[in-house]
Structure 1
Amino acid sequence: MPMNITIRQIQSFLHVAELGSFTRAAEKMHTMQPALSQQVRDLEAELGIRLFDRTTRRVELTEGGAEFRNIAAKIIEDLEAAARNAHDLAERKRGRVTVAAPPLLAAAIVPRAIADFHRKYPGLQVKLIDARTDQIVEHVRSGQVDCGIGTFHAGESEISSTLLARDSLMVFCTTGHALAGKPTVGWRDLDGLPLITLTRDSGIRLLVEVGFEAAQIRLVPAYEVGQITTALAMVEAGLGVAVLPTYAWSGARGMTISAVALLPRITRDIVMITRTGRSIAPAVSAFARYLGKYTTVSAATAEGAKPSSARKRTR
């Protein structure tokens, strides 16, 4: 049979046990003695034992009362600790965020967001997992991670998304390439150029195919690779050009590569995903702002990519 014991009853009992007096316990709790005495009687009734032996001069714990005091003190201690922890979490003073991201975002954007986040919230920890897009969705859905970032198919079951930034496809080429000096490039300008693409299981590759189809030109990849970083390295080696999202520019730092806007634009949303129906912890909400900040900065940097430092390098 469930018991109906309140925190107030336990606190009243503990104060009487500590002070050995109902009167002094009532004063400490800023309540009337009859009310406090009733709290203790109600507690005794729920427990089915007598907690105190009362005389005209003193109040002493019974054997059962002494045993219950140890348990009750631990209950109150744990409750107070839980309340402090909850307050700290709400105030973003402590806690942990586990985030999953695809390799390039995990390498180029998330670390800077974590570093900035730690400066503001030193008590909060961030754990980063780099994974494929399909793995990220499953990690979020199963609760293994608090959130994931990247580009995902719309309508994933049990998944909610928050927009962080919007990026566009761009042409990446060597700084000495004929396209590098152009303010923008049209899709038809890519016709006949050796093209480095991602494999067909990539959402980026599917968008590139859409662009080629709309421009009514054939897409015949010179090379197909699985990672953006590999595509960038092949571009720098002069093996061809690549059509990649703006955030790929984060992986091209220090490389002799230019990025040029591609028209008509094909855009994608970079989002943070969480599990539907699960409340977003304050720490996760706080970290999302930093993810958005650095994802947006990365996209803006690529849109205005003028790698002057790279042009000064010799090959």
Structure 2
Amino acid sequence: MSIDNRIKFRHLQCFLEVARLGSLARAANRLAVSPPAVSKTLKELEDVLGTQLFARSKGGAELTAAGRDFQRYAGPCVQALREGVERLHDAEARTSSVRLGVLSTAEGGFLPEVVRRLHERHAALILSVVTGPSSYLLSQLRLGELDLVVGRMADSPDIQGLTFEHLYNEPLTLVVRAAHPLLDEPFDPSALARYPLVLPIAGTTIRKRIDSLFIEQGLHLPQRRLETLSLSLGRRYVDDSDALWVAPIDAVRMALASGELVELAPQLREAGGSVGICSNTTLPLSLSAERCQAVFREVGAEYRDGVYP
């Protein structure tokens, strides 16, 4: 038999106070409501249960046999709920930590927005972020040194045995600083060889996709290259030179909108790879890690809908 959803916490709280004090008036004073409100609440509960819980008299209110039976269960129920709320509040007050592995594809606007929301909602949360190639981060996740890994890694062979959850698709694009010499002439793929190129380090999942993209377009990687997973280094170098940068769209979205960076060849924009969260299901997640995972999903859903911070 299911519990009638008309029974509310206020019904149980009122019932228990009247049972404890033996008086509707004293219970009303304790609950900071009027005696008629207490009487109405008890009547609602008795109607739902289909039985009389109190024998009322001028001297007060005495539990009936049915009321005594109901008290045996209502009391522990309310106490368990109070203890559960207190435990959550205590957990919220205690400092907790989550260890995240983050690939460069998620460092642009996505991760800062996740962190902002987590710190806005939880008063005592430490997020420890480790960056690096997917092979390293996934190995740390497998060992239990990280709670979650986020980024573009679905094609990595190191993901075998771990659980990947898709969040959104993240394209790569070729960008240059505003006023770059190549912007003054029609795009000629052969001209790319004249300038340095910034791209992820060899052997990473995202670099393999870039190599394939260049082959598909009949392009050759220039001999002058800066290979790095650092978005800040890539951005600074491109700002201060004529270098080209193959970057995740999310990392350059604001700079493109402001005109500080320009897409050199929109037709070369990659279709987009899956950015997601990876977890090790053989190791249970802490409550804080589960909360972090939930916010990843929340922001990921917004990204899928085209909503960006």
TM-score range, shorter chain: 0.5 to 0.7
- Spell out, residue by residue over 1:4-59, the C-alpha distance to the aligned partner (whole angstroms, 9 max, x if none): xxxxxxxxxxxxxxxxxxxxxxx9x9569xxxxxxxxxxxxxxxxxxxxxxxxxxx
- Spell out, residue by residue over 1:54-99, the C-alpha distance to the aligned partner (whole angstroms, 9 max, x if none): xxxxxxxxxxxxxxxxxxxxxxxxxx79x6279739x999865432
Counterpart of 2:296 (choices 288, 296, 303) is: 288
Counterpart of 1:218 (choices 198, 217, 220) is: 220
Q: CA distance change for structure 1 residues 233 and 295 in 2, over 3 Å: closer, same or farther? A: farther
- Total equivalences in the alignment: 226
Once residues 297 and 269 of structure 2 are traced to their aligned partners in structure 1, the CA distance between those partners, rounded to angstroms, is 30
Q: CA distance change for structure 1 residues 165 and 278 in 2, over 3 Å: closer, same or farther? A: same
Counterpart of 1:244 (choices 233, 244, 247) is: 247
| 1:11 corresponds to | none
Return 5+ residue gaps in structure 1 as ranges.
1-26, 33-79, 303-315
Once residues 92 and 262 of structure 1 are traced to their aligned partners in structure 2, the CA distance between those partners, rounded to angstroms, is 49
Deviation at 1:154, TM superposition (A): 4.1
Once residues 115 and 290 of structure 1 are traced to their aligned partners in structure 2, the CA distance between those partners, rounded to angstroms, is 13
Once residues 184 and 300 of structure 2 are traced to their aligned partners in structure 1, the CA distance between those partners, rounded to angstroms, is 30
Q: CA distance change for structure 1 residues 249 and 203 in 2, over 3 Å: closer, same or farther? A: same
Return 5+ residue gaps in structure 2 as ranges.
1-64, 71-79
Once residues 163 and 143 of structure 1 are traced to their aligned partners in structure 2, the CA distance between those partners, rounded to angstroms, is 21
CA contact (8 A) 1:161 1:272 kept: yes
Deviation at 1:181, TM superposition (A): 8.3
Matched residue type, 1:284: C
Q: TM-score, normalised by structure 1?
A: 0.56
Matched residue type, 1:131: T
Matched residue type, 2:103: P
Deviation at 1:118, TM superposition (A): 3.0
Asked if 1:117 is matched to 2:125, the reply is: no
| 1:257 corresponds to | 261
Once residues 154 and 255 of structure 1 are traced to their aligned partners in structure 2, the CA distance between those partners, rounded to angstroms, is 34
CA contact (8 A) 1:161 1:271 kept: yes
Matched residue type, 1:201: G
Cα RMSD for the two superposed structures: 4.5
Deviation at 1:274, TM superposition (A): 0.7
Deviation at 1:207, TM superposition (A): 1.9
Q: CA distance change for structure 1 residues 112 and 181 in 2, over 3 Å: closer, same or farther? A: farther
Deviation at 1:264, TM superposition (A): 6.2
Q: CA distance change for structure 1 residues 271 and 224 in 2, over 3 Å: closer, same or farther? A: same
CA contact (8 A) 1:193 1:241 kept: no
Q: TM-score, normalised by structure 2?
A: 0.56
